[in-house]
Amino acid sequence: MDIKKDQLFITPIEKLGDWTFDEKVAEVFPDMVQRSVPGYSNIISMIGMLAERFVQANSMIYDLGCSLGAATLSIRRNVNQENCHIIAVDNSQPMVERCKRHIESYKSSTPVDVICDDICHINMQNASMVVLNFTLQFLTPENRQRVLNNIYNALKPNGILVLSEKFSFSDTCIDELLFNMHHDFKRANGYSELEISQKRNMLENVMLTDTIETHKQRLSKAGFKHIDTWFQCFNFGSIIAIK
């Protein structure tokens, strides 16, 4: 895949609308996500390691908010069980089109269906692994609990949910520190103050972050018994929840 540099916010934009995963974002997404999310590539490769351990024979795997399919490909490379099927879902048509092409360019015996739909509307069942890699933060709070309940109900015993998110922190000192360190990370990756602030403004109404405690409470309410953070870098991280 060609890696096109993210320069979407390099010049002043007169009317900053709300953030969407449109054609322009999809085009630069691999560069954008790598330079914006601390630990992204580690999380992607370790989702593969979790797949190796948790994916069960004759089961389904769901990658919800799959974007270009990075987590799906990592899972597919590491699945060593028979008769597994991956469903990758995203409601952005430009992401889905690119995801399909990307996945088709790698050979594997594990089938993948890429579906353009809202993850709040899909019917899941017989799952041994579900991934929400930086997707839940784009749902309304009511839909967050609903989707987690659906995931719990779709999982087989010992099935796993991987939930990666940008976090907020109830301790304001820690919240500010980790927020600022994330900005340092972006600057170190070549983003200017203008690029950082324009993107932040666009994300403001669309991406609402929760604390780790809120995520754990929701997962517990959904029914999960074993819940903990397995990765964190600044205000980004990933939680596992096992049925």
Ligand X SMILES: C[S@@+](CC[C@H](N)C(=O)[O-])C[C@H]1O[C@@H](n2cnc3c(N)ncnc32)[C@H](O)[C@@H]1O
67 counts as binding ligand X under rule CB under 6 A: yes
Contacts of residue 219, defined as CB under 8 A and 6 or more positions apart, other chains included, come to 148, 161, 163, 227, 239, 241
* Part of the chain binding ligand X (CB under 6 A), chosen from 77-85, 88-96, 189-197, 217-225: 88-96
52 counts as binding ligand X under rule CB under 6 A: no
* Part of the chain binding ligand X (CB under 6 A), chosen from 10-18, 85-93, 193-201, 235-243: 85-93
Rounded CA-CA distance 21/183 in Å is 21
CB of 34 to ligand X, least distance (A): 10
Q: Which residue is nearest to ligand PRE (CB)?
A: 36
Is 90 assigned a ligand-binding role in the annotation? yes
DSSP letter, residue 137: G
Is 200 assigned a ligand-binding role in the annotation? yes
Cα of 185 vs its chain's centroid, Å: 19
Rounded CA-CA distance 32/95 in Å is 14
Name the residue among 171, 81, 168 with its Cα closest to residue 128: 81
Intra-chain end-to-end CA distance of the chain, in Å: 36
* Part of the chain binding ligand PRE (CB under 6 A), chosen from 33-41, 79-87, 102-110, 120-128: 33-41
Alpha helices by DSSP H, listed for the chain, are: 23-36, 40-54, 70-78, 93-104, 141-154, 172-188, 193-203, 212-222
166 makes contact, choosing from ligand X, ligand PRE, none, with CB < 5 to 8 Å by partner type, with: ligand PRE
60 counts as binding ligand PRE under rule CB under 6 A: no
101 within 8 A of 132, measured Cβ to Cβ: no
Is 99 assigned a ligand-binding role in the annotation? no
**Residue placing its CB nearer to ligand PRE in the complex, 74 or 238:** 238
Q: Which residue is nearest to ligand X (CB)?
A: 65
Alpha-carbon dihedral 12, 13, 17, 19, rounded to 10 degrees: -60
Site residues (CB under 6 A) for ligand PRE, limited to 124-143: 134
* Part of the chain binding ligand X (CB under 6 A), chosen from 52-60, 91-99, 211-219, 233-241: 91-99
**Residue placing its CB nearer to ligand PRE in the complex, 79 or 147:** 147
Strand partners, 22: none
Rounded CA-CA distance 77/62 in Å is 15
Binder to ligand X among 60, 89, 129, 222 (CB under 6 A)? 89
Q: Which positions lie near ligand PRE, rule CB under 6 A?
A: 32-33, 36-37, 134, 166, 199, 203
Q: Which positions lie near ligand X, rule CB under 6 A?
A: 21, 33, 65-67, 70-71, 89-92, 95, 118-120, 133-135, 138-139
